[in-house]
Structure 1
Amino acid sequence: MSDVMIEVKGLRIVAGSETEGMSEIVKGVDFAVKKGEVLALIGESGSGKTTIALSLLGYTRHGCAFAGGSVRVGGTDVLSLDDAGRRALRARTVAYVAQSAAAGFNPARTLMDQVIEPTQLHRLMTRKAARAKAVELFRALALPAPDSIGDRYPHQVSGGQLQRVMAAMALITDPAVVVFDEPTTALDVTTQIEVLVAFKRVIKEVGATAVYVSHDLAVVAQMADRIVVLNGGEVQECGEVDQVLDAPAHAYTRALLAASDHRQGRGADERAAAVDGGTEAPLLEIRGLSAGYGRIDRHGHPAVCVLDDVNLSIARGSALGVIGESGSGKTTLARVVAGLVERASGEVLFEGQPLSAQLGGRTADQYRRIQLVFQNADTALNPSHTVADILGRPLAFYKGLRGAAAKRRIGELLDLVKLPASTAGRRPGGLSGGQKQRVNLARALAAEPSLILCDEVTSALDTVVGAAILELLRDLRRELSVSYMFISHDISTVRAICDDVLVLYAGQGVEGGQRKLLDRPPHHPYTGLLVDSVPALERGWLDAHRNIGSCALPPLSADSGSGRLCSFRARCSVRVDGKCNAVPPPLRTLPSGAQILCHRSADELQTLQPVRGAA
């Protein structure tokens, strides 16, 4: 098998210690990858994907050890290498692109210094040659200003750009194998498309063999040639992408596909019926909201404006999805409602009563009835406290419950979020990502809120766990009549759980209406871009949509200086010079009932939008 680049046979990895006991987390895994092929490792969190991928570098996490089997890369027996041999292997023969680029870079050094560092450590080329090669990779990865971006520091580029810089660092040594570990999980849909296109093109150009770790089946369908399905450290299925996705042989693979369909909102009409608000006043209403950071001027505008003239309402028992790219103002909106960020101007009404801009100005009941569930449960839960301590605090603060009464209610809360009672005695470090997010949600429910602000609560979870959390949120809404503001960059998630949608771009609400506005054109041009950027679970989708948002735009004429111009005009392929950059867009109502801020009529948008994203 001279064309085989990677061969893994009977790989076993254990975790723990001899005193506390050892557990097998990778159980006799076998697979092979041919030269130039892209193999995807998929499965739930804890299935062993990353552990197996890291074995290709001869590495195990702290507390883990190789217990058997073999790993061969290009004929080299990786597990038999000593420390020096493994250091020589890493970056030179096998390179790694981590999930979090932000955590992988030194903030005190320039990007260029870090990208060329592997070439200097392995003495592959001069510093001048390395810098020239880095610029070539920046250009191939479609990074802006490739000649100068290397002079920036990590905090001076976006998340998607930093992910591509990390890929350049991995590829600069011309490795035979590149391991991509969930490299687009935390990116919004439009940025993800750019990064996937860049990765796929460069892998093909350099002829590298790749292992792509992911829980996103739609992404895998675009990137991989073959798939290995993992569960509990064991291979459940291995085959060509088309076979695994279209005719899965194993029940677990079928369950993964079903969870992906469920999370994308297929069959969403079967969810809890939308609430008919009738003439009842909204639970939450926001009018003309502006917010940001820094000194507020006499016109009510902050020095740095994050939200500008945002309007929305949430009926009792309903769910509003707030979508947009990173930096659109979604989280700031939730923090304004929660009282963590002061608004500069506008009104926020809760049950018809004004909410103070400052948390200290709110009543105890208002404080209790609006709860925020943070995106990252790892940082939201105190690692030194037990789950009982974490849930007991809001029970004591809001309800005055202590002792046996608190213990009883903690058991009820754990049952409500479908966690065993034994979880109460555990600390967050001993829980899975999905379990921690359930505890995060149980803490909010302890206050018996009317409104829960969910900030990207499923973005870091795998498909199966994310679908389970969405199902839980639907159940709680039905059982407790709780309302949600559901903040996400994942349109599939919003489709699955929300009744209404607000689309934010650069702090402006550019479209709002019922969830059906996402289903078909016409849309606001930005909404259309977001919808078109959601990968479909079908081969070739990325190639057919690789030009989304990247068409050449005609130059805009000079701005008139008028306030509140369309914030999307610089990226809009259907903009109108002399209107979009001269006067604020009118509020239009589309046939779907959605309201948009746009100079284009519904008929014009219907005609123009179907051609978006053509290859």
Structure 2
Amino acid sequence: MAELQTPDETPLLQVRNLQIGAMAYPPGERPHPIEIVKGVSFTLERGKVLGLIGESGAGKSTIGLSPLAYGRGGVTITGGEVLLDGVDILKLGKSGTRALRGARVCYVSQSAAASFNPAHKLGDQVIEATVRHGLMSRGEARQRAVELFGILGLPDPESFGNRYPHQVSGGQLQRAMTAMALCSRPELIVFDEPTTALDVTTQIDVLAAIKTAIEKTGTAALYITHDLAVVAQVADDIMVLRNGETVEYGSVEKIIENPDAEYTRELVNVRAIRHEEAADQSDRFFEMTNISASYGTMPVLFDVSLHVPRGQTLAIVGESGSGKSTLARVATGLLPPTAGSVRFGGQDLPPALKNRSREELRRLQLIYQMADTAMNPRQTVGGIIGRAVTFYERLRGSARRGRVNELLEQIEMGSGYYDRYPAELSGGQKQRVAIARALAARPELIICDEPTSALDPLVADGILKLLLQLQKEEQLSYIFITHDIAIVRAIADSVAVMHQGKLVRFGPKAEALSPPFDDYTDLLLKSVPEMKIGWLEDVLASRRTVSAGN
């Protein structure tokens, strides 16, 4: 880290009474202004990292973009000051802010894949802003990029920039984007959820690379996230936000070890769910035996066998590309296997969805990761759930409406949501509607494909508690696909660990999550961030690396 400042030095960044607004366009009502950020203030010294944490809609990203004098999505900075080296950047004008962005203040987004042009080499894109601002010659910028590739742990730093975006992994692309931000030697970088879209194993490598780069370059940073355990590894101070206001602001130690606010305590204690695994897991209510599958000529699953007892939860865990979701596609008939069988309640299921009866479809339902993309935005909640009610129970009119309202009560939303559209719902509410649609079939097994990965921790906890409650009430069985070991510990009875299309571990939760471990399971378990200062350094020192190149 850079040297600490003396008391008479001006802090790098001072945000004073920041107010940000936007126009709201509620259905059926006249547009009206709303306040998104309500008088937030903080200070950031050179070489320090401030974590901005809170749920979706808290104002994290909106506040984080203020040092670039930028309002995304139609928002406007309506009041306050944003002082960079004592100068209010909100008064710089268009030419002043253009000179600022990409030079003195840089931004790293959540999705690196969406930020790179697939037609250009990485090296050219990393140095582009630095050269355009006239901060270095092209040769100097290329040398700077090579230096940063090395600091960030990228392979073959001298030649890495010759690759195109599609030729590197997601973790490497995120580190390349960090190199792009650091290339101009900025005073401040805004990291906007830079590891959220990554697998848990890859996340650790990227997080470590970001921390190393900040320490070696002395750049200050705002780190935006909804994961308190992650930000605790890189930040010096943390500001907890909710509904556009500061809930709590202090050192990392203060926030995670002795928080004052109830909301902060909830964030610290998230995933406090404790589900005791079933003692008897011998029942083979749902069973997949010797499953192999391919996409075209490419094999993706290799001789996978597992089972789920009635009324229990099997968690399938592994990183992207491990075969988790492909296994779900085989189970639902969306991808017929090239070998093996699927049995449900003692009977073989037809391999292809089109050959399954209405009754076979009813018994096995699927909840998708992204509720947004699984719903018709032009249908109301009542229409979305009602369609399933009509298909499986042939109910219409008042009987259909009554059944939909019953389901809305079951997911703890109520009949008041019947006529609302998806755009009027929060992320957690949309996922609850997706659960209600699955329940409309009165299923016996539900496959949950990462249903909480896009949700904030507290909202995700609410969904997990609802699923456990429904399991108890309806004797439901679940296959829960996830890469989050904390969720596995919270809800599973049994655990299957997938890696490169193969089953590397399967058994009761206590057994599967206890040593001795194979190398991959060991890596997976050690990569789950803990609410502990110094955890990142400890895990990097102790974990066994299965493969390089993330």
Q: Does 1:235 align with 2:246?
A: yes
TM-superposed CA distance for 1:275, in Å, is: 7.0
Distance 1:510 1:257 in 2: 32
| Deviation larger for 124-133 or 408-417 | 124-133
Matching residue of 2:528: 534
Matching residue of 2:125: 114
Amino acid at match of 2:467: L
State which of 207, 210, 215 in structure 2 corresponds to 1:199: 210
| 1:549-573 superposed Cα distances (whole Å, 9 cap, x missing partner) | 566xxxxxxxxxxxxxxxx7x67xx
Q: Does 1:83 align with 2:94?
A: yes
Are the equivalent residues in 1 in contact too, given 2:271–2:487 (CA < 8 A)?
no
State which of 144, 151, 154 in structure 2 corresponds to 1:140: 151
Amino acid at match of 1:408: G
Distance 1:328 1:31 in 2: 42
RMSD over equivalenced CA pairs, Å: 1.9
Compared with structure 1, are the counterparts of its residues 438 and 103 closer, same or farther at alpha carbon in structure 2 (3 Å cutoff)?
farther
| 1:145-193 superposed Cα distances (whole Å, 9 cap, x missing partner) | 3233323332222211111111111111111111111111121221111
Are the equivalent residues in 2 in contact too, given 1:8–1:70 (CA < 8 A)?
yes
State which of 235, 238, 255 in structure 2 corresponds to 1:244: 255
Matching residue of 2:4: none
Matching residue of 1:15: 22
TM-superposed CA distance for 1:420, in Å, is: 3.8
Matching residue of 1:309: 303
Are the equivalent residues in 1 in contact too, given 2:268–2:531 (CA < 8 A)?
no
Q: Does 1:179 align with 2:177?
A: no
Q: Does 1:417 align with 2:419?
A: no
SS at 1:134 equivalent: helix
Are the equivalent residues in 2 in contact too, given 1:504–1:510 (CA < 8 A)?
yes
Matching residue of 2:446: 452
Distance 2:401 2:167 in 1: 48
Divergent runs of 4+, >3 A? 275-278, 547-551
Matching residue of 1:372: 366
Matching residue of 1:595: none
Question: Structure 1: where are the runs of 5+ without partners?
Answer: 295-302, 552-567, 572-615
Matching residue of 1:285: 287
SS at 2:73 equivalent: coil
State which of 252, 275, 278 in structure 2 corresponds to 1:274: 278
Are the equivalent residues in 2 in contact too, given 1:17–1:63 (CA < 8 A)?
no
1:380-529 to structure 2, matched below 5 A, reads: 380-529=374-523
Scaled by the length of structure 2, the TM-score of the pair is: 0.94
Are the equivalent residues in 1 in contact too, given 2:208–2:536 (CA < 8 A)?
yes
Are the equivalent residues in 2 in contact too, given 1:3–1:35 (CA < 8 A)?
no
TM-superposed CA distance for 1:401, in Å, is: 2.1
Q: Does 1:216 align with 2:230?
A: no
Compared with structure 1, are the counterparts of its residues 319 and 403 closer, same or farther at alpha carbon in structure 2 (3 Å cutoff)?
same
State which of 332, 349, 355 in structure 2 corresponds to 1:355: 349
Compared with structure 1, are the counterparts of its residues 405 and 78 closer, same or farther at alpha carbon in structure 2 (3 Å cutoff)?
farther
TM-superposed CA distance for 1:70, in Å, is: 1.0
Distance 1:289 1:64 in 2: 51
The percent of aligned pairs where both chains have the same amino acid is 50
Distance 2:543 2:261 in 1: 38
SS at 2:9 equivalent: coil
TM-superposed CA distance for 1:398, in Å, is: 1.8
Distance 2:404 2:19 in 1: 39
| Deviation larger for 19-28 or 474-483 | 19-28
In the alignment of these two chains, the number of paired residues is 537
SS at 2:398 equivalent: helix
Distance 1:471 1:358 in 2: 33
| 1:525-577 superposed Cα distances (whole Å, 9 cap, x missing partner) | 211111111121110111122245566xxxxxxxxxxxxxxxx7x67xxxxxx
Scaled by the length of structure 1, the TM-score of the pair is: 0.84
Amino acid at match of 1:293: Y
Amino acid at match of 2:184: T
Compared with structure 1, are the counterparts of its residues 21 and 160 closer, same or farther at alpha carbon in structure 2 (3 Å cutoff)?
same
Distance 1:392 1:154 in 2: 43
TM-superposed CA distance for 1:75, in Å, is: 2.2
Are the equivalent residues in 1 in contact too, given 2:519–2:544 (CA < 8 A)?
no
| 1:267-295 superposed Cα distances (whole Å, 9 cap, x missing partner) | 444xxx637456x5x2210111101211x
Compared with structure 1, are the counterparts of its residues 386 and 88 closer, same or farther at alpha carbon in structure 2 (3 Å cutoff)?
farther
